[in-house]
Amino acid sequence: MGSDIDTLVGMGFSRGKVQKAWKAVKGAGLQPAMDWLLSHPEVSDDPEEEPQGQSLAASANPTSTETTADADEDEIQPGEQTAQSLRCNECQKLFKDPAAAERHAIRTQHQDFSESTEVIKPLTEEEKQQKLVELKARLAEKRAEQAMISAEEEKVAERLRRKAGRDMSEIRAELEAAEMKKMLAAKKQEKEDDRARRAKIKAQIEQDKLERKAKREAAKREQTGAAVPAPTPVSNLPPAAPKGNYTDARLQIRIPNANPLTQTFSADSKLQQVFDFLVNEKGVAGSFTLGTTFPRKTFGPDDQTKTLKELNLVPSCALILQYK
């Protein structure tokens, strides 16, 4: 037995698996063990532990007929008899020696045994070598088949990995594009907010300059006792017409960060119409007010219902637009 086990181990099988095969064929010989190893490639190298439930069942009912390999490990199969083998005439099982038959009789209470007269001639060294060559060929064939299966499985796995990688790359590219779009929109909004903020600050600075200038001129006139001069007409407006019943009002509107806007309105037009003209015709956006520079005055909501004549904006006047 030791020689046959060593032969199987020398072929590349682990000793644990060979011992398991030897136990499975109940020491029948090299050929049955080789056949069992080839037909059970999934068996692990570690020896199997006896199931606890099965052992308990066997100890609980020792007289029952055993059907598992552990219960009848002394049993041999037909064609494996030797001159010393015994047959149980009650269950027709074969046992390799009287000791094994006695253990079977204790477990099952069977009493009828007979000696087998069939003698199996042991394998010669030449037959063992031939069997070894056949086993190696069959083992190589099994390994080649397994290698092909593994290679195909690896190809399928690689295709799945590549597809997953492409999908992840596309998702990552879409996320990056969305993030870039969001960043550009935020920068654009930031620029617009900064531009509006600078325009408001510039307009405020310009307004402060005008107010300071007006205060200085007023203080100077108070010191010299001079009369308050009339507002200086805007240079690019035509000369004012003689006093009379004017029908038109020519307005010059100064808009922050833009060229002055000159437009003629009816003297009976209301100030609200000037606001509507700036919003609808000239695209002025946001909340804003209109006022005169000198004397300093900012028109409120109540003034928007008054005519340009009532507000003394005829025949011509300069207005300043200020964003709120």
* pLDDT at res. 277: 92
- pLDDT per position as a tens digit, 173-232: 888 899 899 889 988 998 988 888 899 899 999 999 999 988 888 888 888 865 545 555
Mean pLDDT of 304-318: 90
pLDDT higher than threshold 90 for residue 234: no
Size of the chain, expressed as the number of residues it contains:
324
Please indicate whether residue 250 or residue 44 has the higher confidence score (pLDDT).
250
Q: In which band, very low, low, confident or very high, does the pLDDT at 116 lie, cut at 50, 70 and 90?
A: low
11 versus 151: the higher-pLDDT residue is 151
Q: For all residues of the chain together, what is the average pLDDT?
A: 77
* Distance in angstroms (rounded) separating the CA atoms of residues 266 and 250: 9
| pLDDT for the residue 136 | 79
Three-class SS of the chain:
CHHHHHHHHHCCCCHHHHHHHHHHCCCCCHHHHHHHHHHCCCCCCCCCCCCHHHHHHHHHCCCCCCCCCCCCCCEECCCCCCCCCEEECCCCCEECCHHHHHHHHHHHCCCCEEECCCCCCCCCHHHHHHHHHHHHHHHHHHHHHHHHHHHHHHHHHHHHHHHHHHHHHHHHHHHHHHHHHHHHHHHHHHHHHHHHHHHHHHHHHHHHHHHHHHHHHHHHHHHHCCCCCCCCCCCCCCCCCCCCCCCEEEEEEECCCCCCEEEEEECCCEHHHHHHHHHHHCCCCCCEEEEECCCCEECCHHHHHCECCCCCCCCEEEEEEEEC
Q: The whole model's pTM is what?
A: 0.28
pLDDT computed for residue 66 by the predictor: 38
pLDDT in tens, 131-141: 778 777 877 88
Residue ranges, comma separated, of all CATH 3.10.20.90 domains in the chain are 248-323
Q: Which fold has domain 248-323?
A: Ubiquitin-like (UB roll) (3.10.20)
